[in-house]
Amino acid sequence: MSTGKEQLDTEDDFISVEADDAEPVVEVAKTNLSKRRTIDNLLEERRLQKQIADDYDFDL
């Protein structure tokens, strides 16, 4: 048990993160999410076009 007079060991090699450092991370996440949505939309469109081509395979 602690007596309250003991010296506590602390580590001085930690890295502090300020509010300014966190801002670019949010922007990167938004950009990546936007790119992912664009890719998902393109893949969905391609899948639907292939499905339509398979279902309605008419020789015109």
Does any domain span residue 52? Answer: yes
Owning domain of residue 45: 29-59
Domain count, the chain: 1
pTM of this prediction exceeds 0.75: no
DSSP category for residue 29: H
Least confident of 21-25, 30-34, 53-57: 21-25
pLDDT at residue 42, rounded to an integer: 97
Listed in sequence order, the DSSP H helices in 1-60 are 19-55
Q: Residue 1: pLDDT above 70?
A: no
**Total residues belonging to the chain:** 60
Does any domain span residue 39? Answer: yes
Q: Residue 39: pLDDT above 60?
A: yes
4 sits in the region (left: phi over 0; alpha: psi -120 to 50; else beta) called left
Does any domain span residue 11? Answer: no
DSSP category for residue 40: H
Rounded CA gap, 3 and 19, in Å? 38
